[in-house]
A and B are shown apart, each in its own frame.
Chain A
Amino acid sequence: MLINSNTKPMTLKQYQVLRMAVAVALGVIFSQAIIFRNYLIPIVAVTIAFLILIMVKKKVKGVVADERDYAIGGKAALLTIQVYSWVAVCIMFFLYARRDLNPAYEPIAITLAYSTCLLMIAYGLIFRYYDKITFLDKKVIYTVLLILVFVAVIVFGLRLFSGEDDWICQNGRWVQHGQPDFPAPTRECK
């Protein structure tokens, strides 16, 4: 076991350094995974990093975060969502307006638009959860309902935006599926 119960307690400073090192390592792993087109490694890496940080956090002597950190975290999260939404929407309009220049612009613009919507819906639902549902008697039922709504939104979104009008690879040839408004991919169809 990497971190067993006999290890010495950790200081807050050491924990922060370790957390930073884990973040850097994850960044390197992600970039390599994208280069080598291996998407399993990042999932495994994130899971391992998450478990390491949870285990290490228990060893920290002292308070890792207090109410002021949570208050700042809430404000920072809200501002991050707002900044991301505005930037994503601006880039989305820019790319969509220039979709004739490059067929790749449209899917990127749609992905940005959809991710922004998803982020705002997730924020709204989580806000509603903390604002109302945590105080209710039947909070388990409402929580399940909330998760179902979220999953339904994702499924509906994926159904709406994926693969209806596209090029599909069949018997070594690119075949039109629906009415794609961009040319067939230039990469080899295997």
Chain B
Amino acid sequence: MKNHIKELRTKLNITQEELAQKAGVRRETIVFLEQGKYNPSLNLAHSVALALNVGIEELFIFEN
């Protein structure tokens, strides 16, 4: 699953560590999310979207 986490995070000028703290996960998880190597749970997707002030559907690109 692709996402816009890196673009939005850069736009907000926050580090991966700061985003991880806001979302309540480890920095490595943010790294894997940004690289599209990890599909988050709905809970985590919601937390990250909240931390970046966007909706889940704007943040993640759902593909078949």
Interface of A with B (CB < 8 Å)? 12, 62-63, 65-69
B29 contacts A68, C-beta separation under 8 Å:
yes
A66 contacts B29, C-beta separation under 8 Å:
yes
Contacts of A12 in B (CB 8 A): 26
User: Number of A-B pairs whose CB atoms are under 8 Å?
Assistant: 27
Q: Does B20 contact A (CB under 8 A)?
A: yes
B26 contacts A69, C-beta separation under 8 Å:
yes
User: What number of B residues sit within 8 Å (CB to CB) of A?
Assistant: 13
In the complex, what distance in Å separates the CA atom of A77 from the CA atom of B29? Answer: 20
Q: Does B41 contact A (CB under 8 A)?
A: yes
Contacts of B44 in A (CB 8 A): 66-67
Contacts of A67 in B (CB 8 A): 25, 29, 40-41, 43-44
In the complex, what distance in Å separates the CA atom of A68 from the CA atom of B38? Answer: 8
B40 contacts A63, C-beta separation under 8 Å:
no
Contacts of B24 in A (CB 8 A): 63, 66
B1-50 contacts to A (CB < 8 Å): 20-21, 24-26, 28-29, 32, 38, 40-41, 43-44
